[in-house]
Amino acid sequence: MATKSFKLLCLENPLLDIQGVGDHAMLEKYGLKLNDTLLAEPHQMGLYDDLIQNRNAKLIPGGAAQNTARGAQYMLPPDSVWYIGCVGDDEYAKILREKCKEEGLHVEYRVDPATPTGKCGVIITDHHRTMCTHLAAANEYKLEHLLEPRVWSMVEATSVGFYVGGYHLTVCPPAAMALAKHAAETNKVFMLSLSAGFIPQFFKDPLAEILPYCDFVFGNENEAKTWAESQGHPSDISMQECAKLMAKLPKVNTKRPRVVIVTQGTDPTIVAVAEAGKEEVELKEYAVPVIDKNLINDTNGAGDAFAGGFCAGVVQGDPLEDCIKKGQWLARLSLQELGPA
């Protein structure tokens, strides 16, 4: 049978988001603070059933790059995007597959029968989100799965490029590097999200290894600043300078510029473009369209949605400015939904 040809592959850590409306008493019960994003400890493992049984929780495919993949597929023709990561052999994995299929996202999960599917409890209080994650099987992705002939043939048939979430640098850097090197060798697009401040802070080596292969790098102001500080730059460095510094890093595939995109919530999106042979880095700022606070339902996944819209633009061959606008449009839509829907 001929290998199906997709446009974009996303790789990271699949989770089932279990999202419910909570209150401060619930946060206190599980030792959580408002807006926390942390890994679950043993005393917090009851949160997931509590949300399902008592808080009418919604079950939504999650994990940052899976959100991005869903967002990109939402804006693209059928069979444009596929996604890989690791799940368990359980009901949660079945739910993930079903919901992704409903949305037109093709998944090729590695299955670890010894470990449950990862999940993220999301407590929504007003416009705030508090997230408690049990990674479980999401932590068990292996390079061997990517290199299986059937899967790797799909990688080779992916025509535009690849998006890797930075969280995957904590799981299986060799898989991310395999995609990065393939992209450079074949002049496909390689995109990376910094994902969280602790990635540049505590996973400096795998990040430093993969950045030379990146055509697009996404981060928010905290992630960009943390990266700059990890490189020895002062803590009062501007976001514009952060973006320029990352854009000017050495690059393997010089046929493509490096584009660094720093989102700042409602403040302008900063974009730095560095092209081979040019000393000057082009710096632009794009205003974020104003959204009425009354329309904001939940900020969960807005950054993932921005990346999804941007990726859709890349797949369609749009100019950079249009990619930014598509990212902002999808992020705005995401803000009006519960979770990264």
Closest CA to 161 of 320, 324, 317: 317
Tell me what pLDDT residue 298 has: 59
Q: Could you report the per-residue pLDDT of 262-312, keeping only the tens digit for each?
A: 999 888 999 999 998 888 999 999 998 877 776 666 565 778 999 999 999
CATH of domain 8-14+63-116+136-335: 3.40.1190.20
Between residues 173 and 302, which one has the greater pLDDT?
173
- Read off the pLDDT of each residue in 240-250 and give the average, rounded to a whole number: 96
How sure is the predictor about 340, in pLDDT bands with cuts at 50, 70 and 90? low
H or E segment at 313? helix 302-315
Tell me what pLDDT residue 295 has: 67
**CA separation for the pair 38, 53 (Å, rounded):** 22
Is 304 an active-site residue? yes
The encoded tokens of residue 65 equal 């790059």
Exposure of 221 in the CB half-sphere (CA atoms within 13 A) = 13
Question: Cα dist. 252→14, 76, 162, 183, 305 in Å?
Answer: 29, 29, 16, 10, 28
**3-state secondary structure (DSSP) of residue 127:** coil
Domain boundaries defined on the chain:
8-14+63-116+136-335
Tell me what pLDDT residue 275 has: 94
- Read off the pLDDT of each residue in 40-59 and give the average, rounded to a whole number: 95
Tell me what pLDDT residue 280 has: 93
pTM: 0.93
Q: Do 339 and 63 contact (CB within 8 A), yes or no?
A: no
Q: Which of 17, 112, 215, 304 is catalytic?
A: 304
Q: Do 73 and 123 contact (CB within 8 A), yes or no?
A: no
Q: Which residues contact 186 (CB under 8 A, 6 or more apart)?
A: none
Tell me what pLDDT residue 2 has: 56
What is the 3-state secondary structure of 266-308?
CEEEEEEEECCCCCCCEEEEECCCCCCHHHCCCCCCHHHHHHH
- Share of residues in the chain with pLDDT > 90 (%): 83
